[in-house]
Amino acid sequence: MLAPCVAGLSQLVARRLTGEKPPITITRNHCVRVEPKLLAVQMLRKVRVVMLFIILGSWALMVPVQAGAAKKPWSGNAAAVAYYRTSSAMTNSLPVFQDVTTGYYWLWDDANVGGANSRFELNWGYATKPAADMVRAQATYEIQMIGGKQSWYTITFASLCASGSVCGSSIAPMELYVTKGGDFYGFYASGSNRVSCWTKATGSTAWIGKEFQPGTGWTTIGKFSPIVTKGNQVLITSTYPISDGSKVTETDSIDSATKLFTGSTYHVSRSTKPVYAPFSYSVVETHPSTTLTAPTVSLCS
């Protein structure tokens, strides 16, 4: 699995809409949110001001539960563990990851209200729509690796639909630029595939640097089942409990020739603290052969 606080993929769990009251105090404990909250912040966009509601919930990051620091974080089939550890090391040694996540994020924008009063919402980890007028979103992570660890990455959230009252042109893709020294957010310019201008995450938006952090990459965690081979793909399944009372069943695909990860599916059981419905999502991973070019940060005026 990807380690906690790495790209926000397998570490996020279902979040329930708690209202629309901005802004309130967030209580955190390094990758584990301990109170369900809703944070509303003002963000500048090139043409208009957008009210961006980020839905923040308790235990927003999945943290595998381990018995103790001295205990190995893996168990189960020895051959699967050995294969997985080899693939983790080889994949982490690459310069770039690209992960595309589907079935995990939801977007909403008031497409019928333009100008400074329009709003944008991002939700994650729901089995069904958090609200009737929300749409599925695809998240694309581009991660720059240096020395086996993440140096920086971008994540772009984009609607998967193209028409309808909640799929209008006002749902512009949103991008986060996450670095060790600072974090930025911005919206794509109309008709463009890049952010028009960036805003540095500070103050009420500083949660970006806590929810999304550069991390270690792939790591070996969980109880591993025997290896299954399908064509040129080696499938390795592991299970592990997480801090909200759910159990995750993760199946990772590894190319048998390169020993590199190619994708994952996640099935998250019903949680208990608080109670959320089970959900599933998937990730496709590719490995570009060249390093990424960091975004040029032009701050919004």
> Which has the higher per-residue pLDDT, 2 or 262?
262
Beta carbons of 43 and 200 less than 8 angstroms apart: no
29 pLDDT higher than 70: no
Q: Give the pLDDT score at 4.
A: 27
| The pLDDT value given to residue 32 | 23
Above 90 in pLDDT, residue 232?
yes
pLDDT at 20: 26
Split at pLDDT 50, 70, 90, the class of 178 is very high
**For residue 89, pLDDT beyond 90:** yes
Handedness of CA 250, 59, 38, 154 (dihedral sign): negative
Q: Quick one: average pLDDT of 3-9?
A: 31
Domain boundaries, the chain: 37-286
What is the C-alpha separation between 171 and 121, in angstroms, rounded? 10
The fold adopted by the segment(s) 37-286 is: outer membrane lipoprotein receptor (LolB), chain A (2.50.20)
Q: What is the pLDDT of residue 267?
A: 95
What is the pLDDT confidence band of residue 100, given thresholds at 50, 70 and 90? Answer: very high
Report whether pLDDT(107) > 90: no
Mean of the pLDDT values across residues 220-229?
Answer: 96
pLDDT digit string, tens, across residues 56-87: 332 233 455 554 545 789 999 999 999 999 99
What pLDDT, on the 0 to 100 scale, is given for residue 113?
A: 40
- How far from chain centre, in Å, is Cα 165? 26
- Average pLDDT on 45-66 reads 39
Q: What is the pLDDT of residues 109-127, one digit of tens each?
A: 554 443 334 455 777 888 8
Q: Which residue has the higher pLDDT, 71 or 162?
A: 71
pLDDT of the residue at 208: 78
Output the pLDDT for position 40: 30
